[in-house]
Amino acid sequence: MAERRVNVGWAEGLHARPASIFVRAATATGIPVTIAKNGGDPVNAASMLAVLGLGAQGGEEVVLASDSDGAEAALERLAKLVAEGLEELPETV
């Protein structure tokens, strides 16, 4: 299983707009991805309610994971999005 640990770069954490950006980006990868707070249970990264339910704060570590083909590249892009608090999924890393 591919995994990336990253600190949330959005000051407000994964709430409202940042969560929406992240969920759209996770869905756009086309592969199943999970997200979890460090030590917590993973949830579906493509579910807005699940991501909001994490309550991930700015600066807090989250774990992105997937065991699908293409997971390494997809997780790298999602990790960059989360770490840098970007407004959209980067095309390439």
Q: Which of 15, 43, 80, 86 is an active site residue? A: 15
The two tokens of residue 63 are 């774990």
Contacts of 78 (CB under 8 A, 6+ apart): 4, 22, 25, 26, 29, 33, 45, 64, 89
Q: How far apart are CA 13 and CA 93, in angstroms?
A: 22
15 is catalytic: yes
Q: How far apart are CA 74 and CA 83, in angstroms?
A: 14
Residues identified as active-site: 15
